A = this chain, B = another copy of it.
Amino acid sequence: MAEAARKQRSAAAPRPVRCIVKLGGAAITNKGELESIDEESLRSACAQLRRAMSDGTSPEKVMGMDWSRRPGDPADPVVDAEGFAGMAGLGLDSNFVVVHGAGSFGHFQASRSGVHKGGLHSTLVKAGFVATRISVTSLNQEIVRALAREGIPSVGISPFACGWSTRQRNVESADASQIIESLHAGFVPVLHGDAVLDELLDCTILSGDVIIRHLAQLLSPKYVVFLTDVHGVYDRPPTDPNAVLLKEIEVDDNGGWSIVKPALQGNRNGVEISVAAHDTTGGMETKILEAAAIARLGVDVYITKVDTEHSLRALKGDVNASSDDWLGTVIRSAK
C-alpha cells in the first residue's frame, strides 16, 4: 500500500529529467598524477551546473551545503542556517543526474589487480576490488562535496551499493528506483564508474559511460552532456595538427552513422571514427559508441570541453550545431 502511495505520488508530480551530465575523468582529475583532482576544472563544472540549473530566482549569494571540515583544515565549516531558513526555495531546476569517471582514481588499483577481468577466488582480485572501490568512492565524495559547495543538493549513489551488476561485462541489473526517488525529492544523484559484481566473471569494472547509457534509457532525459578535456570528437588524435573537430554526427536506427558537419573528403565516416577517434584516455571510442546508443534513443548528446563557454551552453541545452561559435560535437538521431 505504501508502495502504491509512493507510485501515485510520483505519478502526480512527473518531473522529466532534464539532463544527464558526465564529468569525464580526464576533465576533472590530473591524469598523470595518482588520485589528484583538477580542482579548478571541477569547481568550474560545478559553478556552470549551478548556472544551468538556475531558474532566475536563485540568489546571487551561493550558500554551500557542505558543512564538513576540509581535510587538513581544522576550522569549523561555515553554516548559514538562518540564510537557508529564510529562503523560499533554492531557485534551481535540479532535475539533473551527474555521473563521473575515475580519471586518476581507481585505474591504478584496478589495473594492478585485474579487477576488470574478474575471478574473486584470487586474493589479488578481491583486494583490488576493495582498493578500487575505496579510490572511486573517495573521488565521488569529493565531487558531491564540490557540488554541495556550489549550493547544489547532491547525493552520492554508488552503483555497487544500489545493486548494479553485470553479466560478462554487460549490464544485467540496473535499478534506478533510488535515483528516481532522489530526483523526486529534489536531489541531484551523483553516480560513478565502479567495481561491481558480475554473474559470470565474479566482478568487473562498470564504466561511467555505460552507466550513462543505461540511465538515458531509464530516465529519458532531454539531453546528455559529456564534459571532457578536449573540444569534442576529432577525426584523428586531437594532438595531430590536421585533426578536424566533428561538429555534428547523425546516427541511424541500424547503428550506422554519418558525419553531417564538417563535410569531409570522401567517405571517411565509419572507419575513421572507430580507428582514430581518440582522447588522451583512450576512452573516446567507448564514449562515441555509448553516445551513439543514447542518440538512437532520440536524446541529443553534446560532447565538449570542460570550463569553457561551450560547456556552459551545453549544460543549458542551448546548443546549435549549425552555428559556428559553439565548439563541440553533437550526436543525434537521424530521424
Contacts and interface: CB of A to CB of B under 8 A. Distances in A.
A20 interface: no
Contacts of A141: 134, 137-138, 141
A156 B129 CA distance: 12
Contacts of A123: 84-85, 87-90
Nearest to A109: B67
A185 interface: yes
Given A124-B85, A161-B161, A162-B161, A155 B130 contact: yes
A148 B163 contact: no
A317 interface: no
A102 interface: no
How many copies altogether? 2
Contacts of A34: 69, 76
Contacts of A129: 153, 155, 187
Q: What interface size band does chain A fall in?
A: 35 or more
A68 B135 contact: yes
A202 B185 contact: yes
A272 interface: no
Contacts of A257: none
A227 to B, nearest CB: 22
Q: Among A72, A89, A126, A181, which residue has the most Cβ atoms of chain B within 10 A?
A: A126
A203 B186 CA distance: 12
A93 B35 CA distance: 32
8 contacts: A2-B172, A5-B199, A67-B131, A84-B122, A87-B123, A134-B148, A156-B158, A161-B161
